[in-house]
A and B are shown apart, each in its own frame.
Chain A
Amino acid sequence: KNEVEQSPQNLTAQEGEFITINCSYSVGISALHWLQQHPGGGIVSLFMLSSGKKKHGRLIATINIQEKHSSLHITASHPRDSAVYICAVTVMDSNYQLIWGAGTKLIIKP
Chain B
Amino acid sequence: SQTIHQWPATLVQPVGSPLSLECTVEGTSNPNLYWYRQAAGRGLQLLFYSVGIGQISSEVPQNLSASRPQDRQFILSSKKLLLSDSGFYLCAWGDGSYEQYFGPGTRLTVT
Contact = CB atoms under 8 A, between A and B. Distances in A.
A48 B98 contact: yes
Contacts of B101: 45
A88 B102 CA distance: 13
Interface string B74-111: 00000000000000101000101111111011010000
Interface residues on B, range: 20 to 34
Interface string A21-56: 000000000110101000001111100101000000
Interface residues of A, number: 25
A69 to B, nearest CB: 18
Contacts of B46: 97-99
Nearest to A89: B98
Chain B interface secondary structure, helix, strand, loop or mixed?
A: strand
B9 to A, nearest CB: 9
Closest 9 CB pairs of A and B: A31-B98, A102-B43, A100-B44, A100-B43, A41-B105, A43-B102, A90-B98, A96-B94, A41-B88
B70 interface: no
Given A30-B98, A90-B98, A95-B51, A42 B104 contact: yes
Contacts, number: 56
B99 A48 contact: yes
A42 B44 CA distance: 12
Contacts of A4: 43
Nearest to B44: A100
Given A41-B107, A48-B98, A97-B59, 12 more contacts: A31-B98, A35-B102, A41-B104, A42-B104, A43-B90, A43-B102, A45-B100, A45-B101, A50-B98, A95-B51, A96-B94, A100-B43
